[in-house]
Amino acid sequence: MSGIADVARRAGVSKSTASRALTGSGYVSDATRQRVRDAANTLGYVPSTHAVSLATGKTQTIGVIVPHVTRWYFGEVVDGIQNALIARDLDCALFSAEPGSANRQRMFDTYLGRRRFDGLITVGLEPSTRELDRITTIGKPLVTIGSYDAGTSAVSIDDFEAALRATQHLIALGHSNIVFLGGAPEDSDHSFGDARRVGGYRTAMTEAGLAEFVQHIPCDVDMPDGYAVAVDFLSGSHARPTAIVAVCDEVAIGAIIAARRQGIGVPNDLSVIGIDDHTHAEMFSLTTLRQSPREQGETAVELLSRLIAKPRSTPERVWAPATMVIRSSTAPPPEPARL
């Protein structure tokens, strides 16, 4: 394998100049830098990381903390982060921190202390006070994705606003008996995003004079639990709602499947609206508020790059767009005679 001496010889410079050109750790003219890089590429030489780290004080790695990668939103965000990092020649160190798990504690206690990253992106992390202390004392640039806002640089949709608009869409169609399905119960600790969405729903209902119909039915934020809980309340003896605002598309799709199985027509008997525009939304003709977690991941990398370049700069708050996509899971409520 070629070494730095071979690269220097080929580029016609000294070893120390070649090293500076490749590690970015001192003055080298653009022309020389390019010549050295070309030589390195031709020879297949890549500088060792330890050498680069010691020379620049940078790890060239970004730490990414997620609760898990097995849900659509998190997987998409991680893919977006990945793409943006690889284009900048940065590595992605991934850490999953499922709420309440032993690994989460270990991650906060050990991994963060190691500081083996130039900056951190947390995705949908809703930290306890103790965890937040730990993150901020680490003293590394930080960007959060998701609803939690610790005054750091942050990217997310406006969860309150998204649920408000979803609810108003149903009210405009003529619905009154609208339930909000999914998310943690309101007294839960780990539910900033859910709680804001419930808040948006509640506000839209109250403002429209529909406070008496407000009903939040909690469930896990995934398709099977949305399905199970919907089977339950759609077959209950109480007055069935004519519309559902789901905390996200996965829960909305679970509810649509539950309704179909019970012979309840969507949208003729029941309207359903989600938030996300999940990969499966089109297949279920789901009306939803579209967000792009992939772009949120890319935006977070941009914010973090700026923070790493200028650590003392003011945090930036980016509100990602949420766009109404009207398909055919929502319609006016059935005529009273049919209720």
Binding site for a copy of itself (CB under 8 A): 44-50, 53-54, 59, 61, 64, 68-72, 75-76, 78-79, 82-83, 86-87, 89, 91-96, 103, 106-107, 110-111, 113-116, 222-224, 227, 254, 257, 260, 279-280, 282-283
Q: Rounded to whole angstroms, how far apart are CA atoms 185 and 190?
A: 10
287: left (phi over 0), alpha (psi -120 to 50) or beta: beta
CA atoms within 13 A on the CB side of 70: 5
CA distances from 270 to 57, 106, 244, 246, 254 (A): 59, 46, 8, 13, 14
Handedness of CA 261, 252, 230, 225 (dihedral sign): positive
Question: What are the DSSP calls for 21-86, one per residue?
Answer: HHHT-S---HHHHHHHHHHHHHHT----HHHHHHHHS---EEEEEES-SSSHHHHHHHHHHHHHHH
Q: Least distance to a copy of itself from the beta carbon of 9, Å?
A: 19
Neighbouring CB atoms inside 10 A of 313's CB total 12
Nearest partner of 119 among 57, 54, 65, 61, judged by Cα:
61
272 three-class SS: strand
Q: Least distance to a copy of itself from the beta carbon of 53, Å?
A: 5
Q: Which is nearer to a copy of itself, 30 or 89 (CB)?
A: 89
Neighbouring CB atoms inside 10 A of 59's CB total 18
Q: Least distance to a copy of itself from the beta carbon of 54, Å?
A: 6
- On whether the CB atoms of residues 280 and 97 are closer than 8 A, the answer is no
Q: Least distance to a copy of itself from the beta carbon of 113, Å?
A: 3
Q: Which is nearer to a copy of itself, 64 or 195 (CB)?
A: 64
Q: Which is nearer to a copy of itself, 100 or 336 (CB)?
A: 100
Q: Least distance to a copy of itself from the beta carbon of 217, Å?
A: 18
Q: Which is nearer to a copy of itself, 163 or 269 (CB)?
A: 269
Q: Least distance to a copy of itself from the beta carbon of 338, Å?
A: 23
**For helices 15-23 and 30-43, what crossing angle results, to 10°?**
90
Q: What is the token pair recorded at 155?
A: 């990217």
- On whether the CB atoms of residues 33 and 43 are closer than 8 A, the answer is no
Q: Which is nearer to a copy of itself, 89 or 335 (CB)?
A: 89
Q: Which is nearer to a copy of itself, 28 or 90 (CB)?
A: 90
Neighbouring CB atoms inside 10 A of 87's CB total 10
Q: Which is nearer to a copy of itself, 1 or 309 (CB)?
A: 1
Q: Which is nearer to a copy of itself, 195 or 229 (CB)?
A: 229
Q: Least distance to a copy of itself from the beta carbon of 6, Å?
A: 14
Q: Least distance to a copy of itself from the beta carbon of 251, Å?
A: 12
